[in-house]
Amino acid sequence: MKIISTVAELRAQPRPKGKRRVLVPTMGALHAGHLALIRLARKNAGAQGEVALSIFVNPLQFEPGADFSRYPRPALADEELCRKEGVDLIFRPAPGEMYFENRSTFVEETALSEPLCGASRPGHFRGVCTVVTKLFHLLTPDAAVFGEKDFQQLAIMRRMVRDLDFPVEIVAGPTVREPDGLALSSRNQYLSAEERAQAPIIRQALLEAAQSDETSARKMAAAVREKIESASLARIDYVEIVGTDDLRSRLTIEPDSLLAVAIFFGQTRLIDNILLR
């Protein structure tokens, strides 16, 4: 397994001819959810292909006052997990390798990034699009794997690849969960014991909504809010029902509807979603 930390070293590496390269972009602090994405990347690359994983805590996607400085960076543990999973290449640059101090060029998607997390995290998806564009240019993957837990990010990546003609296939990985239903996230470790005990209410509320016969988006969202608010430590950022194609609010529950939520427990913001019918 090669570990590369500079752009110059990465560019000096010859790209194996005839080998399919699949990229798994991460911010590190790898957990079972990431490992599932790595395995999906290996399946997509094939036995003779190459799995590349990037580890970069991207400052551009953290809004002021967010948890950039305290975001976990367990480098050695991440390396060991990658070795066990058969990752071929890790690209782990420092911020100074990725961004000039006087940078003035960004990549921005302006439709799908407006609702949901984009409404409460201004500039976040501009940071995501910018760093992923750079990773695509530097690593030249044939495909890239993104998790469905962040459905909005997945949709934006698909739109960005389409609009900018990147020759990169976007592969979606199903959400991986704890036994009690909580979606795996590097931020789960920030939860106190009491917050962690209440956090599964998110998944419970999503499942109850998906299994109901409710056709009104407004009434379904209200029921989800009521369920989540029954957890004393939960603070709702948003509960929205949107179309999977445009991420715009729906009035009625249709086959292409997505129920998406963002919930705070203390300072920890958790997201999750479920497809409806």
Phi, psi of 262 (to 5 degrees): -135, 125
Q: Which one-letter amino acid corresponds to residue 176?
A: V
Virtual CA dihedral for 195, 242, 24, 103, nearest 10 degrees?
A: -90
Contact 152, 248 (CB under 8 A): no
Q: Look up 31 and say whether it is catalytic.
A: no
Q: Of the listed 31, 34, 124, 137, which one is catalytic?
A: 34
Which stretches of 5-155 are assigned E, i.e. beta strand?
21-26, 50-55, 89-91, 143-147
Under the phi-then-psi rule, with left for phi > 0, alpha for psi from -120 to 50, and beta for the rest, what region is 69?
alpha
DSSP string, 124-182: HHHHHHHHHHHHHHHH--SEEEEEGGGHHHHHHHHHHHHHHT---EEEEEPPPB-TTSP
- Which residues are part of the catalytic machinery? 34
